[in-house]
A and B are shown apart, each in its own frame.
Chain A
């Protein structure tokens, strides 16, 4: 199906999607950092420092966020929200698994779902054509919130999924940020306090 009006703006739409994907991917790297730290033994050092596990997770999340922000550049304020969400999720998964290979596979599968069931690369009208269920899922996907907010911010307002703007995506991202950070801290504490990673 060709949508002529969309063809005009698809390049901009696509570029915005790529930026969001880059942002998402760099945020997810924190999980790989955790495996690298475990491999080099730095993990044990971090766990022995006079800081609580909670501070450690928040520090990692914020650190990962700042790094992503530097990589991608000062795009928009939503960056920090996306980062908080993705690093929290990545930390949760990384400490939940004991094998770097399993982490790779699981993150690959998750990324495929998260990106495809969002409006990062395709407007919702296309997703709707494929399946009503998929279209419904895009409306509760944090990457859709980030994409919409970013496009709204840079003025690509055609084919936004979420309304009202910008309140709905900001609220959505905030909810995901806190939820994943909380889950990340909880899982991190439970799995790592006392060498659960070994």
Chain B
């Protein structure tokens, strides 16, 4: 892929008998928000650490921004910024010093530093806490400081690991908007998360990982549409549904299954719900069966995860990472 800013070629990391990442092949395009999705232990963080040159691959390789992670790690590090899953902060410092020092190491001028640190701290509602020692802050506040590093740095490639863990709902929305703004300003964002909703609303494309392996990678919509009969429509009728109508409904090409919940209510599992619903409505109208209510639902990324792994994300988390047989 010519627009790829990151490519991995059979990228693998083993820790003794534990296979954290197993022959991962990915292409991440310039300027996109790329979601790395999976339960804890899926290999997301290890992938991020390899792509950021913090740890070395056991096998395979990756090219980040045109530079080889094994042979040109210094060049890779000049392009990237990371928000770690667990805040990595110099605990004796206050918020302002932590961010100012980070910005300084990343090469920002004094004036630029002051402006950006102030702007980001204000946006994250942390300005009034800027002089407090980091070890005295709550978990959510520390996480805000961690993500502030990347937002201040504005790197060409930003790796953001669980950006909203421990953060309240209002804070989450604020951070999601700031991540989108970062992308719009020209950064490529790799978002590692186990929050399916977060990945769904933020990512241009999503890669689902399980036991260190890539299960599937595409846009959230394509992934959802890839589940046969993943959409559903629940229809409440004013009178009992007839056998004839039921047969006609089942005859739709997109309809996979129809279940009678009660005599006046049915649920159809189908594909491309938004395209079929008008035809379904026409069918009921022509059959003189007035519709009382209709509820349409599309699959979520949870359903996509279940479809491709056979497990819910909670069950996958309990299974843990893959181990090699000795």
Contact = CB atoms under 8 A, between A and B. Distances in A.
A198 B77 contact: no
Interface in A9-35: none
Contacts, number: 54
Contacts of B107: 50
Given A44-B88, A48-B77, A48-B82, A195 B49 contact: yes
A44 B74 contact: no
Contacts of B89: 42, 45
B55 A194 contact: yes
B94 interface: no
Contacts of B56: 193-196
B197 interface: no
Contacts of A1: none
Interface in B4-49: 15, 49
B73 interface: yes
A45 B49 CA distance: 10
A49 interface: yes
Interface string B54-73: 11110000000000001001
Contacts of B55: 194-195, 198
B84 interface: yes
Contacts of B54: 44, 47-48, 194-195
A51 B77 CA distance: 7
B106 A48 contact: no
Contacts of B74: 50, 52
How many chain B residues sit at the interface, stated as a range, is: 20 to 34
Interface string A181-198: 000000000000111101
A41 interface: yes
Contacts of A45: 82, 84, 88-89
Interface SS, A side: loop
Nearest to A41: B88
Contacts of A196: 56
Nearest to A189: B73
Nearest to A49: B105
Contact of B49 (A40, A44, A52, A193): A44
A195 B57 CA distance: 9
A47 B84 CA distance: 12
A42 B88 contact: yes
A48 B55 CA distance: 10
A196 B13 CA distance: 12
A42 B88 CA distance: 5
Nearest to B78: A50
A48 B91 contact: no
Interface string A108-125: 000000000000000000
A48 B90 contact: no
Contact of A42 (B53, B78, B80, B90): B90
B181 interface: no
Contacts of B57: 194
Nearest to B56: A194
B279 interface: no
Interface string A158-194: 0000000000000000000000000000000000011
Contacts of B82: 45, 48
Contact of A41 (B15, B78, B84, B105): B84
A195 B46 CA distance: 11
B86 interface: yes
A51 B42 CA distance: 30
A198 B86 contact: no
B214 to A, nearest CB: 21
A182 to B, nearest CB: 19
Given A194-B53, A195-B55, A198-B55, A50 B105 contact: yes
Interface in B79-136: 80, 82, 84, 86, 88-91, 102, 105-107
A47 B90 CA distance: 14
B157 to A, nearest CB: 12
B53 A47 contact: yes
Nearest to B79: A50
17 contacts: A42-B90, A45-B89, A48-B54, A48-B82, A49-B77, A49-B105, A49-B106, A50-B77, A50-B105, A51-B77, A51-B105, A52-B74, A193-B73, A194-B53, A194-B55, A195-B49, A198-B55
Interface of A: 40-42, 44-45, 47-52, 193-196, 198
Given A41-B86, A45-B88, 6 more contacts: A40-B88, A47-B54, A50-B77, A195-B56, A196-B56, A198-B15
